[in-house]
Amino acid sequence: MSTTAPKKKYRSQKAAKRASLAASYVVLTILSLIWIIPILWIVLTAFRNDLNESGEIIGTVTSNFFPNRPGFQNFADLFTFKMNGVEFVFLRWMGNTLLVSVVCCILSTFLILSVAYCISKLRFKMRKGFMKFSMILGLFPGFMSMIAIYYLLKSIGLSGNPDNPALSLVGLMIAYSAGAGMGFQVAKGFFDVIPNSLVESAKLDGCTNFKIFWKIILPLSKPIIIYTALMAFTGPWMDFIFAKVIIGSTNTAYWTVSVGLYSMLYSDKGNPDYFTKFAAGCVMVGIPITALFMFLQRYYVEGVTAGAVKG
């Protein structure tokens, strides 16, 4: 019945919406796949126990994405993995890193929060000076100071000490936490959001500054406390340059897990055959940290936005 006047072609809002939604679903799935593939590949490699002709497990990178013969052998080897004559070295690395990250988490969170509170809520003579000082110091590339820090710690026997190498872990803790205080910007961004009238009414109620911090500010800053603790905790798990210099490349038993994993492949003792073990190690390290992240994601997002907005 083409006689009726042609319907004015305008896309009904509902149709347009559905089409654009469909398009974004497709795009998003592709993008998520792209983001997931490398991680998926490492996890799959961790479970790959393909054999070469002579029946041994192929440890190197191979062309197949999916394992022909999945199994837990790599993890088993990882536990008994020996490097530089040190038995069960991977477990020791995990232990060392856990110890360092727990101590750093406590120390750094305390330092960051105390500095952030001071800069955000207290007014004192050298306040702008301190902020500029911390900004400028942040601009220097860190490598050169690594050597100086190594020698500073060495002079108080906390690193490169042949008698008790375990002390270099203490040295690493100090080195990580020492710099933490200067990274107060994100926490300060969060404290700025807490209304000043709360602090002022507490002052009128006769509180000392300490009491205001302890009784009023801290109870209200659960998200930023968790964000800072999370960042401080995951720090030692990610750094592999600094730790190697402080602990020393011959001190294998006291390495952190990141230094260990990196050395498995790319140091002079590295061997491409260890790649599957490396993948297993990555999975072992990745799982706890990812779980922590997913669990605390809400606070992480809050920290990120608070920091970013105030800068």
Partner 1 sequence: MAGLTLKHIYKVYENGHKAVNDFNINIEDKEFIVFVGPSGCGKSTTLRMIAGLEEITAGDLFIGDTLVNDMEPKDRDIAMVFQNYALYPHMSVYENMAFGLRNRKVPEEVIKEKVLNAAKILDIEDYLDRKPKAMSGGQRQRVALGRAIVRDPKVFLLDEPLSNLDAKLRAQMRTEITKLHKSLGTTFIYVTHDQVEAMTMGTRIVVMKLGYVQQIDTPMNLYNKPYNKFVAGFIGTPQMNFFNVRLNRVKDKVEVIFANGNVITVPYEVVAKAPDKYLHSGVEVILGVRPDHVQVSEKKTGLCGVVNVVEHLGNECIIYADLEGNVENAEEKAEEGMSKANSITIKTIEGIEVNQGDKIYLALDPHRIHLFDKETEITIIEEVPHASSFMGKVSAGKLSMFGKSVALPAAVKDALDGKGEVMVDIPPYAVVPGKDFALEVHDVEELGDVRLASLINGDRYLYAIVDKKVKKGDTYEFALHLDKVTFHAGDEVALAPIGEEEALIGTFSKADRRENRERVIDFFYNINGVPVLAPRENGYKMNQVEGNKCYKNNYKFVINRKAIKLAEEGIEGDVKEILDYGYISYAKLDVNGQEILVEAPVGLADSKVYISFAGEDVAVHSLDIDMRIC
Partner 2 sequence: MKKTRLLGSFVLFGATVLGLASCGGSENKIVLWVGEESYEFYTQACKEYLEANTDFGFTVEVKSQDTGTAAAQVIADATAAADVFTVAHDNIGKLVQGKYVKPITNEELTNQINADNPQPFIDVAYSSLAGEKQLYASPYISQALFLMYDKRSVSDTQAASFEGLAEAAKAKGAKVKGWTVTGTDGFNFSFTVLARNNETKATSLKLFEGGVKTKGSCWFQGDDEVASMKWVQKALKDPNGMMWASDAGWYQDIQNGATVSVIGGAWHFKTFSNSVGSENVGIAKIPTYTLTSETAFGTAAAGTVMRGGTFADCKCFMINARSAGSKYVAEQKLIQYLSSKAIQDKSFIACNNMPAYKGFADKLDMIKKEHPELSDNSIKLARAQSDMGEYGLAQPFINGTLNTYYYSKGGPELYKVMADQYDTSTKKEVFLTDADIQKGLYRIQYIWQHGKEIDEKLIPATLPAEID
Partner 3 sequence: MAKAKQIGANKKRNWFLRTWDNFVFKLEEFGKRFVDGSIGTKLSHFVFGAGNFYHKQYIKGALFLLLQVGIILFMVLCPSVNGEYYGYKALVNLALGGSKGGEFDKETGEQLPPSDDKLRLLFGLVTIAVIVIFFIIWLANIKSSYKADLDVKQGKKPTTFIEDLKELLDTRFHLLMLTPTLVAALVFTLLPTIFMICMAFTTYNDFDMTAENTTLFYWNGVNNFVYMFTGQSQLGKEISARFFPVLGWTFLWAIFATFTCYFGGIILAILINKKGLMGKKIFRTAFVLTIAIPQFISLLAVRNLFSSYGPVNTLLQNMGLISEPIGFFGLNDNDNEILAKVMVIVINMWLGIPYTMLMTSGILMNIPTDLYEAGQIDGASKTKMFWKITLPYVIFVTTPYLIGSFIGNINSFNTIFLLTGGGPTYSGYKAGGTDLLVTWLYKLTIENGEYNTGAVIGIMTFIITATITLITYTRSKAYNEEDTFQ
The site partner of 269 among partner 1, partner 2, partner 3, none (C-beta below 5 to 8 Å per kind) is partner 2
Residue 56 interface partner, choices partner 2, partner 3, partner 1, none, CB cut-off 5-8 Å depending on type = partner 2
If the CB atoms of residues 87 and 147 are measured against partner 3, the closer one turns out to be 147
At its nearest, how many Å lie between partner 1 and the CB of residue 221? 11
Amino acid identity at 292: L
270/258 Cα distance (integer angstroms): 14
* Closer to partner 2 by Cβ: residue 56 or 144: 56
**Contacted entry of partner 1, partner 2, partner 3, none for residue 91, CB cut-off 5 to 8 Å set by kind:** none
Residues that bind partner 2 (CB under 8 A): 52-54, 56, 58-61, 63, 84-85, 154-158, 160-163, 248-250, 268-269, 271-273
With left for phi above 0 and alpha for psi between -120 and 50, is residue 42 left, alpha or beta?
alpha
Residues 150, 144: Cα–Cα separation, whole Å: 10
Residue 89 or 232 having the CB closest to partner 2: 89
CB of 311 to partner 1, least distance (A): 22
What's the rounded Cα separation, in Å, for the pair 73 and 311? 47
**Shortest Å distance, C-beta 264 to partner 3:** 10
Complex with partner 2: residue 141 or 162, whichever CB lies closer: 162
Q: Which positions touch partner 1 (CB under 8 A)?
A: 195, 197-198, 200-207, 211, 216, 219-220
How near is the Cβ of 237 to partner 2 at its closest, in Å? 26
203 binds, options partner 2, partner 1, partner 3, none, Cβ within 5 to 8 A by partner type: partner 1
- Cα–Cα dist 101/141, whole Å: 23
Which among partner 1, partner 2, partner 3, none contacts residue 118 (Cβ within 5 to 8 A by kind)?
A: partner 3
CA distances from 201 to 114, 205, 221 (A): 21, 6, 18
Question: Could you tell me the CA-to-CA distances from 69 to 57, 63, 180 in Å, in that order?
Answer: 10, 14, 45
Distances (CA, A) of 37 to 24, 42, 62, 92, 290: 20, 9, 16, 30, 16
- Residue 26 corresponds to which amino acid? V
Given the complex with partner 1, which of 82 and 222 has the nearer CB atom? 222
Q: Which does 68 bind (CB under 5 to 8 A by kind): partner 3, partner 2, partner 1, none?
A: none
Q: Which is nearer to partner 1, 221 or 251 (CB)?
A: 221
Residues 6 or more apart whose CB falls under 8 angstroms from that of 14 comprise none
Nearer to partner 3, 33 or 87 (CB): 33
